[in-house]
Structure 1
Amino acid sequence: MEDILKGRIIRKRKHGDVIFLDLRNKNGVEQLALRKSYFGDDYESFKDKIHIGDIVEVSGDYFTSNTGTNTLGIHTYDVLTQCHSPSKIKTRPNIDTRRNNRGFDLLTSQESLERFNKIGKLTSVLRMYLYEQGFIEMDTGILRNTTDTSKARDFTTIANWNKQELYIRKSTEQKLKQLMVGGLEDIFELGKVFRNEDVGKEFSPEFTALELYKTFGVYEDLLDLMKGMLKRIDNEIGIPRTKPSEFEEIGFYDYINGEIGMDSRVIKLEELNDKIPFNKRKNYPMDEESRGYFLHDLFESLIQEERDRNITIIGYPKEITVLSKRFENDPSLSEEFRMFVRGGSYCYGCTELIDYEEQKKRIEEQTKFWGKNEKKLDDNFIEMLKIGLPPCAGLGLSLERLQAVYLDLDDVRDVIAFPLKK
């Protein structure tokens, strides 16, 4: 029985009375051979049918070429789709064109094609791992009537039916928590979120976020879950040079204190501000209510320089993550972890705050600090907290950053099919 292959012809070369072709499909690149010894008088007419870029179906028998390459000797050759711009396939476009028109990138680079196949596989591995751990997937929608607690700027639009302003979601957290109050347990959502911020190597205004909640869990449970997920990805995708599943754990204050050689809990705010790079300083009020914000900015400036270490930070200033429970032995920090590879954060997890009074107070404090309009916050979320959110732990992850880590890429735009231009 003859073998059958389908795919696109990406290369053609003549060697005596044999025309060698490279056919590419999802399995990789196969070498084909059109031999005059097989076709005889029909060889010339068959030869004229072959064009770079055509999608074809071929059948034949395998043999080993003189160079030792496994090759399909063509017996039949049918054109399924004709390519009318073969020159486009022969020329590798520049990086801007590759990002703007990913189709050309994939056509001209086997490496890019394999990369996006890996991206799809990694997403599938992540989902399957969560299903195996007993989590169920939700969809909370993209348009919102209200903003949320994230300090990132909103994308907004106007509804035609009532001329009211709508918000494009920055997070799925509050909606998922409302579902948990309603009785759903161990849920996650993997979907697009939108933040009207910068475009660059580490940031995209549109990205894919994993938000996950484990009922009756604490942050340590999700740290273990994340370790298991990374090991699974190691096994299925391969271990990159950065070895993201191997990291050291260190407390938030211990890390900062070790870097600056001082106790960041008691250092004067003026001194703390001086240790933040000048171009990253904010005009926070010089009072103790701002200490967490100063520490956050200092920490970010320090961790970004970590290019040779994978670090998981335990604890984070409560002012930054207002939806997280505080440590009982150190109320200045939230019970959470943040994972960093090459100085970039791609995952965090926390024990969720379920106390209604404290949650309302902390949201109001952050809203006032950032100058948001309190009326635009989600009253339904606060009302559901009154009913009672079950004890739980939450995890958030940027899928694009995780993909970039596992593909040894420094720019998230290279894992996004069609990234936005600067």
Structure 2
Amino acid sequence: MSEQNKPNRFEQARLEKLEKIQSLGLDPWGQRFDNHQAIADIRDKAPEESGVEGEPVRVAGRMMLRNNKGKLRFFHIQDWSGRVQIMAMKNDLSEEQWELITALDLGDIIGIDGTMRRTNTGEVTVKATQVTILCKSMSQPPEKFHGPKDMEMLLRQRYIDLIYNEGVLPRMLKRTKIIQAVRQTLNDQNFIEAETPVLHATAGGAAARPFVTHHNALDMDLYLRIALELHLKRLMVGGVERVYEIGRVFRNEGIDATHNPEFTMIEIYQAYGNYESMMDLTEAIVVNAIKVSNESMVIPWGEDETIDFTPPWPRKTYADLIQEYAGCAMDDHDAILAVAKKNHIETENKHHDVIVNEIFEALVEDKLEGPVFVIDYPASICPLTKRKTSNPAVAERFELFVKGMELANAYTELNDPYLQEELFRTQLDGQDEEDSMAKMDSDFIRALKVGMPPAGGLGIGIDRLVMLLTDTRSIRDVIYFPLLRPETNE
């Protein structure tokens, strides 16, 4: 064995205990362990008085703390619902059982049969009558975490983060409850969940840079999807009147506190609706998600802030917000150029509305505490959106902002195939050729010619929703395995 592969002193000590467990005729990696109860459930079964023996219970979990006092051993085990103290007394156990207990380490996964007790200090405890080894841990638990190097280690070894960092596992389990609530809201309103392709011949449905891959058998490039939109709309053409998909989406762009190249979105389409229908639906989805994840519509944000999600939420026009925060009218070209110059926003070879939108992103978004619906965007930056009948320069689109972060994006969907084709062909000045919107999905135009009903469409960033509802500042902390650079040995 090379020096590099030799076990360190901690692993060597665990190897010796592993051998001891095997010498007792026990399987250190465990077997099936039926009928155990969640720790959170058994805690309510403890007697109110100390010294009184309660009902029998069976639990399983990872050993997190221990305190050896001669013939009396105390340790805590943890499952995904909580922790409980275990008390083991040498006089109550067989010699083999006691030998097993002395071979246990922090991090081991064990099963406990016993009875509920409450100690003299009032702590809920299980008095063990039988201990079962379910998995020997060969890794020393980490010391306390501190510094960016440890934070990167936790992201790479998320299993360590989930086990030893308080609040991480509950946050991720809350994510699941939030997604379940989103599905339930839609299912209750007769929406159908669909699955659409991840590999696309043409990347469309959003303005974003795609990841490119290659299919060997067909000798063709394909794109990881950047949106769910165009296939779901094809389903509406086919008669699926209320449809949604929760799926992974991939955008070959930067990484920051609210962006990860691989993220989870939900897109929803409702025939015979519009963007106002989608505002009502958005409120229902978020409110129901809050009900399963928080005790109130007013939820904490940081140490001294809150977010009040009590509906109805205000609706403000894009033009009014530009006037309020940029100090000029959206269609005043000279004034817009002056504001852009003052704020160091590049204007050369850019369409007027692109400049306006960059001003909106720079001067307005961070001011939107929300929740607030920003409605009625410039039509030229919304190529998949129906125009307002009263003003074709304005698109029936909204974005929902909370704490300066875009949470949802919705349209009254464009279903005119000829206008849609024209917009695909005449994308905005300055569009990056590598971006998806520089290409046209001809089959989507063909589908629109068959006839798509007037509809409202909505997209919500699931990761950002979870961030807001769990008081989390970084998207990395609500994704089990965020994208990281390859690990180095430095």
- Does the TM-score normalized on the shorter chain lie above 0.5? yes
Deviation track 1:218-262 (CA, whole Å, cap 9, x = no partner) reads 111111111111211121100532436244321111111011222
1:151 touches 1:370 (CA, 8 Å); kept in 2? no
Deviation track 1:35-72 (CA, whole Å, cap 9, x = no partner) reads 24534877853531332111111111111112211111
Distance in 1, matches of 2:288 and 2:438, equals 44
* Candidates 332, 348, 355, aligned match of 1:283: 348
Aligned residue in 2 for 1:248? 314
Distance in 2, matches of 1:45 and 1:131, equals 54
1:222 touches 1:395 (CA, 8 Å); kept in 2? yes
Aligned letter for 2:123?
Answer: T
Distance in 2, matches of 1:95 and 1:203, equals 18
Distance in 2, matches of 1:245 and 1:43, equals 54
1:153 touches 1:195 (CA, 8 Å); kept in 2? yes
2:325 touches 2:364 (CA, 8 Å); kept in 1? no
Aligned partner of residue 99 in structure 1, secondary structure: helix
Q: Map residues 98-117 of structure 1 onto 2, 5 A cutoff.
A: 98-117=154-173
* Candidates 49, 60, 76, aligned match of 1:6: 60
Aligned partner of residue 74 in structure 1, secondary structure: strand
Q: Cα distance 1:181–1:369, how it changes in 2: closer, same or farther (>3 A)?
A: farther
Between the two structures, name the one with larger relative contact order (CA 8 Å, sep ≥ 6): 1
Aligned residue in 1 for 2:323? 257
Aligned residue in 1 for 2:481? 418
Q: Map residues 204-223 of structure 1 onto 2, 5 A cutoff.
A: 204-223=260-279
Aligned residue in 1 for 2:418? 357
Q: Map residues 389-408 of structure 1 onto 2, 5 A cutoff.
A: 389-408=452-471
Shift of residue 421, structure 1, vs aligned partner: 2.2
Distance in 2, matches of 1:165 and 1:368, equals 27
Q: CA RMSD in A?
A: 2.2
Shift of residue 343, structure 1, vs aligned partner: 0.5
Shift of residue 200, structure 1, vs aligned partner: 1.4
TM, length-normalised to structure 1: 0.92
Distance in 2, matches of 1:330 and 1:15, equals 80
Distance in 1, matches of 2:102 and 2:239, equals 67
TM, length-normalised to structure 2: 0.80
Distance in 1, matches of 2:142 and 2:411, equals 48
Aligned partner of residue 300 in structure 1, secondary structure: helix
* Candidates 53, 62, 74, aligned match of 2:128: 74
Aligned partner of residue 167 in structure 2, secondary structure: helix
1:272 touches 1:294 (CA, 8 Å); kept in 2? no
Aligned partner of residue 67 in structure 1, secondary structure: coil
Deviation track 1:395-419 (CA, whole Å, cap 9, x = no partner) reads 0111111111111111101111111
Computing the radius of gyration from Cα coordinates, the structure with the larger value is 2
- Larger mean CA deviation between 76-85 and 360-369 belongs to 360-369
Aligned residue in 1 for 2:372? 311
Distance in 2, matches of 1:3 and 1:407, equals 32
Distance in 1, matches of 2:328 and 2:347, equals 21
Distance in 1, matches of 2:347 and 2:177, equals 41
- Larger mean CA deviation between 23-32 and 325-334 belongs to 325-334
Distance in 1, matches of 2:271 and 2:202, equals 26
Distance in 2, matches of 1:281 and 1:57, equals 64
Shift of residue 147, structure 1, vs aligned partner: 2.2
Q: Map residues 96-245 of structure 1 onto 2, 5 A cutoff.
A: 96-238=152-294, 239=296, 240-241=299-300, 242-243=306-307, 245=309
Distance in 1, matches of 2:432 and 2:94, equals 81
Give aligned pairs, total: 415
- Larger mean CA deviation between 41-50 and 55-64 belongs to 41-50
Aligned letter for 1:68?
Answer: G
Aligned letter for 1:50?
Answer: L
Aligned letter for 2:331?
Answer: R
2:61 touches 2:110 (CA, 8 Å); kept in 1? yes
Distance in 2, matches of 1:46 and 1:372, equals 66
1:60 touches 1:73 (CA, 8 Å); kept in 2? yes
